[in-house]
Structure 1
Amino acid sequence: MALSSNVMGAINFVAILLSIPVIGAGVWLATEPDNSCVKLLQWPVIVLGVLILVISLAGFIGGFWRIPWLLILYLVAMLILIILLACLVVFIYMVTSKGSGHLPPSRAYFEYRLDDYSGWLRRRVRSSYKWDRIKSCLSSTQMCAELNQSYTMAQDFFNAHDITPLQSGCCKPPTECGYTFVNPTYWISPINNAADMDCLQWSNDQMQLCYNCNSCKAGLLANLKKEWRRVDIILIVTLVALILVYLIGCCAFRNDKTEDLFRKYKQGTYT
């Protein structure tokens, strides 16, 4: 019996530790400027991580102090959480399966198109009500000002590899418009204003820039895709580990109940 209690306590302690990367992934998303503006994924991840922590703690207490009803609660609740975590993993993969950057002529950075991304993600940024809030949040960051500090010469900017999707989509006009570089956030004399609707949306007003452009929305989704994919990897690893821990816990619980029944049977036979 002591061995079973120790096993249940140990595996639930491992489950407690497994909640930390889930909570950490959600907190990391919340600190990223784009995710903090959109507020889509971080709270589901954080809430799920906290629930795993609470249920694992309940299982640890139930296993260590041999409280059967608490162990049963743990087994049922953890199964539900594992299913929810698996659904979240699949959902993130599905909504981030589409979309990639396009390399414009004579440029080292990528540009992005809104129609390349999944319909679910596009709906999060297409309505003017949602986008006005996101745009206001994005324009308050320093991401475009950082480009002006990093690049003063046109060719250096055109050869830059470290421009983020958000900076590419929101801080400059699309390359096909043919604007002339003055600095990364100030462009003049477009050659073809009709090449893309975003060409007309561009403004040298430092609070406007291309925040009203579809390229900015696409850059945001490209950033979200990159960050969500990283989180998905963490969640997949955690999911596999949780499943293993859960199966071991089920076996330990079953063996413990079998020992109890066998002990009661022997006591009934020999007394």
Structure 2
Amino acid sequence: MALSNKVIGAINFVAMLLSIPIIGAGIWLTTEPDNSCVKILQWPVIILGILILVVALAGFVGGFWRIQWLLVVYLIAMLILIILLACLVVFIYMVTLRGSGHLEPNRTYLEYHLDDYSGWLRRRVRSSYKWDRIRNCLSSTSMCAELNQRYRMAQDFFNAHISPLQSGCCKPPTECGYTFVNPTYWISPINTAADMDCLQWSNEQTQLCYSCDSCKAGLLANLKKEWRRADIILLITLVALICVYVIGCCAFRNAKTEDLFNRYKHGYS
């Protein structure tokens, strides 16, 4: 029985370690400017990782100190958390399934359209109340100012690989036909009727295209890229957790069987 308990404790110690990449993925998301402004995914991920850590710690304690009821609580709670993690992995995949950038003539960077993205993501940025808060947060970053320092000539900027957020928020849509002065200052649009965003553009450095649908689309494109990376980490951790849980269940069952055998043996000896 002692050996089985130590095995269960060791298995739960591995489960504790597996909570680290989940918590790390959530913390990484908080360090990204777009996610720190939107604040949708990072806290559910961090909280789920912490819960897995706490439950695995309970299983570790229950395994080494032979606390049977704590092991039962661990098995039930960990199963629930694994199901929640699986739901989160599937949810992230589904909401980031749609949406991609569009090529424009003589441009290396891509343009982004809000309607390309899932309805759930669009609802996160459509309301003026939510977007005002996000816009103020984005405009306080240096992402657009960095473009002015990096690109002086028009052709250099047109050939640049800028982020979706910079493409959507820091410049007007290409189809409007604005003339480049610098990455955040454009004049003389050719076709202001091409898109409503053409009228939203402002050379005021605190405004730019932060009120444009292209900025919202660029934000969602950035979120999609980062959420997909986090989802890969969560998926790998989920598979590892399932393996650890199955092994733990088998070890717990073997320990119970061994305990019953020992009781039977001592009862008839």
1:159 is aligned to 159
1:201 is aligned to 200
RMSD: 0.5
Give the percent of matched residue pairs that are identical in Structure 1 and Structure 2: 83
- Structure-2 separation of matches of 1:25 and 1:226: 13
1:106 is aligned to 106
Where do 1:158-197 residues align within 5 Å?
158-161=158-161, 163-197=162-196
- Structure-1 separation of matches of 2:263 and 2:16: 33
The one-letter code of the counterpart of 1:55 is: V
1:8 is aligned to 8
- Structure-1 separation of matches of 2:32 and 2:10: 35
Pairs aligned (count): 269
Q: CA deviation at 1:47?
A: 0.1
The one-letter code of the counterpart of 2:114 is: L
- Structure-2 separation of matches of 1:104 and 1:8: 58
2:141 is aligned to 141
- Structure-2 separation of matches of 1:29 and 1:253: 36
> What SS does structure 1 have at the residue aligned with 2:53?
helix
> What SS does structure 1 have at the residue aligned with 2:186?
strand
Deviations 1:113-172, CA, capped at 9 Å, x for gaps: 0000000000000000000000000000000000000000000000012x0000000000
The one-letter code of the counterpart of 1:268 is: G
1:29 is aligned to 29
Q: CA deviation at 1:268?
A: 1.2
1:128 is aligned to 128
2:232 is aligned to 233
> What SS does structure 1 have at the residue aligned with 2:69?
helix
Q: CA deviation at 1:218?
A: 0.0
> What SS does structure 1 have at the residue aligned with 2:112?
coil
TM-score, with structure 1 as normaliser: 0.99
> Does the alignment pair 1:61 with 2:73?
no
Q: Structure 1: which 4+ aligned runs deviate by more than 4 Å? A: none
> Does the alignment pair 1:19 with 2:19?
yes
- Structure-1 separation of matches of 2:254 and 2:13: 19
1:91 is aligned to 91
The one-letter code of the counterpart of 1:97 is: L
> What SS does structure 1 have at the residue aligned with 2:231?
helix
> What SS does structure 1 have at the residue aligned with 2:192?
coil
Deviations 1:90-119, CA, capped at 9 Å, x for gaps: 000000000000011100001100000000
- Structure-2 separation of matches of 1:64 and 1:268: 26
TM-score, with structure 2 as normaliser: 0.99
The one-letter code of the counterpart of 1:2 is: A
